[in-house]
Amino acid sequence: MRKPILGILGGLGPLATTYLMQFVILKTPARTDQDNIPMIVLNDPQIPDRTAYILDHSKPCPLPEMTMVARRLEESGADYLAIPCNTAHYFYDGIVDAVSIPVLNIMTETVNRLVECAGKDATIGIMATEGTVASGVFQDYFAAAGMRRTITPTKEEQACLTSLIYDCVKANKPYDPADLLHVAEGMRSRGCDAVIVGCTELSVIYAGLGQKPEWLYDSLDILADRCVDYYLERQ
């Protein structure tokens, strides 16, 4: 029996793509190489910036390139897809419409985890790109699950997160993981029961944190869990 192949629509950004691959491998209950999940990865960093388009529709739209990559992954043999970029899920429906295979949804999986672990009455802090925050897409996913109490970063906190994303991780420059934790703790102090790392560049920084607070949830880590579970369910 052929094992399901995971397709990763990558490059959004490139480093986050490699972290998803690593997370999936480390979470797979494998005793040998052959027990691991087959993957096809198309790491396309030429896809236009998602936040730039969401904030200004005169900028290049990333959807045509993303759908092209999704189709190429399907044509190459992928049985299901994952997208290691939260902001790209602003375009999720368009990607789903472009292929005939399942596309896992990082926001759906993150919301499901928070419903389970924090409860529907919890107040959730969202650390993400300006595009994700401004579009309200994550807030909409939470609201659809009955979680209507969300908090977004202050102007100063968002500036810090944006710098970590674009000036540090995407630019391959050094960063201090304590800056991410400082923003999360600030949101926590304003009444958040849980805070999500809702940008996969921030997930790269989260992975480097030493002691991770139990109230801090990483969307890329949660997506990796679902990639593995989906595979194991079909063995």
Catalytic residues: 85, 199
Cα–Cα separations (whole angstroms), residue 175 to 37, 45, 68: 32, 21, 33
Backbone angles phi, psi at 110, to 5 degrees: -65, -45
> How many angstroms separate the CA atoms of 57 and 81, rounded?
26
The distance of Cα 75 from the centroid of its chain, to the nearest Å, equals 24
Backbone angles phi, psi at 38, to 5 degrees: -65, 135
Tell me the two tokens of residue 73: 């992954």
The closest of 108, 107, 115 to 133, measured between CA atoms, is 107
Q: How open is the CA angle 6-8-13, to the nearest 5 degrees?
A: 160
